Amino acid sequence: MPSITSFETHDIRFHTSLTGDGSDAMNFDCDYSAATVILHTDSPTLQGHGMTFTIGRGTDIVCMAIKEVANRLIGKDVETLFADMGKTWDYLLADPQLRCEKGIIHLATAAVDNALWDMFARYKKKPLWKLVSDMTPEEFVRSTTFRYITDAISKEEALAMLRERETGKTEREALVREIGYPAYITSAGWLRYDDDKVARLVREAIGAGFTHFKMKVGANFEDDYRRANLIRSIIDNPNSFPEGYSPPAAGSLQGKNAGPMGCVLMMDANQVWDVDEAVKHTKGLASAKPWFIEEPTAPDDILGHAAIRKALKPDGIGVATGEHAHNRMTFKQLLQAEAIDVCQIDSCRLAGVTEILSVLLMSAKFGIPVCPHAGGVGLCEHALHLSLIDYIAVSGSMERNVLDLKYADHLHEHFVYPCTLNSKGRYNVPDDPNGGYRQVELDNHQRG
């Protein structure tokens, strides 16, 4: 049986700060980057590729942490690891001198766990979403972690929910293969883009089939107000749309403040405000009819998010957060406190696929749609698999989850298996049996 023999890490950085890509109220000059790991086995055809997302300086520190976590896998038999991925994840986190529930070690564990799942999928000759969606409810539960969250969802509850979702799995898979998975676009609304560029990119996005748009806010209220109403004036104007356009189904727009053309606007403050500031600023933008305000305050402030959500409810504006939630316990508390309307997991902030599965289960139980954060290097490629798993095997719905993915239209060329879109602004379902969980193409000039 193959066993893991060695690994390598790479520090990959892209100078996105030069063009303003990725700019927001808290991260004005960020360079989208990734710390990657490749797990090698004694089989020449079996590898596992994993990554965690970073924004420039500090990527080298994450690579150092990855080495410490990955060392625990050397000499391990892959079939034994794959037989119980939940137990394997516990083992990765169990080093008493490294054990940490968030921070650098958690980011590093994400890269290593993602690499293991990538290897598992390649070993079974299935893309990751298909590997997990095809699992029995018992296999699914065994592949995640329930430690510290059983007061929110027990293994028995998860099993019952997954068994119920078994009905219709084949039909859901066939449907999403046919029509694609719905996406939204943030690339038109970065904070450092001028008004002309924003207007041009919004119109181009409409032409590409998008109906959901997200903009960055929080640096200056007057700029936010002007840009929000600029975007709203374009996406509500019938002249902006191609001949034959028809709005999305009403069910997918419920509660989203959609305009007359069925278009939805979201706003992202990237944690810049205190609680009272968040309420005041967002209420001031209510005329632009946002569906939600994302990360209105510190990501660890559960009760702050709950207070903001309560204050904004009369305005019909929801609250979304999660891309900086460090672990499943944070999501558990956000759900229990009724603090969010949209759950935004991050494939590299949580400690890999194993921990993410537990958040998908909790969100489904609480009836909160999961819309992954997916704007950085490799996150679109990762998040697509997670949303497909959620739709096919867990929540059974992509009606309310129409925004599960954010599409950034740059840096995909660095991937062997880049995500692609159809003409309706939806992601195509990846189907390459060797695609795994997607991997970064490491050109010589990128190796760090």
**Tokens standing for residue 373:** 């954060």
The answer to the question of residue 147 being in a domain is: no
What is the domain-level CATH number for residue 33? 3.30.390.10
In the chain, what is the greatest distance between 2 CA atoms, to the nearest angstrom? Answer: 63
Options 216, 281, 382, 385, the catalytic residue: 216
Calculate mean pLDDT across residues 116-120: 96
Quick check: is 216 catalytic?
A: yes
Count structural domains, the chain: 2
Q: Residue 21 has what pLDDT?
A: 57
Task: Report the percentage of the chain scoring pLDDT > 70.
Answer: 88
The answer to the question of residue 157 being in a domain is: no
The answer to the question of residue 346 being in a domain is: yes
Regarding whether 178 and 98 lie in a shared domain, the answer is: no
The string of DSSP codes covering 58-109 is THHHHHHHHHHHHGGGTT-BHHHHHHTHHHHHHHHT--TTT--SSSHHHHHH
Contacts of 306 (CB under 8 A, 6+ apart): 337, 338, 339
Regarding whether 115 and 205 lie in a shared domain, the answer is: no
Options 373, 382, 385, 406, the catalytic residue: 373
Tell me the pLDDT band of 241, cut-offs 50, 70 and 90.
very high
Tell me the pLDDT band of 443, cut-offs 50, 70 and 90.
very low
Helix residue spans in 124-154 (DSSP H): 128-133, 137-142
The answer to the question of residue 257 being in a domain is: yes
* Domain final position from 126, 160, 189: 126
Question: Starting from the edge strand earliest in sequence, which strands make up the sheet with 4-13, in order?
Answer: 4-13, 33-41, 47-54
Quick check: is 283 catalytic?
A: no
The answer to the question of residue 186 being in a domain is: yes
* Domain final position from 126, 160, 187: 126
Regarding whether 198 and 103 lie in a shared domain, the answer is: no
State pLDDT tens for residues 125-148: 999 999 999 999 999 999 999 999
State pLDDT tens for residues 63-84: 899 999 999 999 999 999 999 9
> 332, 306 in Cβ contact below 8 A?
no
Calculate mean pLDDT across residues 325-330: 93
The answer to whether residue 27 scores a pLDDT higher than 60 is no
Domain that holds residue 93: 3-126
State the number of CA atoms in the 13 A half-sphere of 276 facing the CB.
Answer: 0
Q: Residue 414 has what pLDDT?
A: 64
φ, ψ of residue 33 in degrees (nearest 5): -145, 175
* Model pTM score: 0.88
State pLDDT tens for residues 175-198: 999 999 998 988 777 887 899 999
* Domain final position from 63, 96, 126: 126
Residue whose structure tokens are 């650098």: 104
What is the DSSP-derived secondary structure letter of residue 346?
B
φ, ψ of residue 358 in degrees (nearest 5): -70, -35
> 93, 19 in Cβ contact below 8 A?
no
Regarding whether 185 and 78 lie in a shared domain, the answer is: no
The answer to whether residue 426 scores a pLDDT higher than 60 is yes
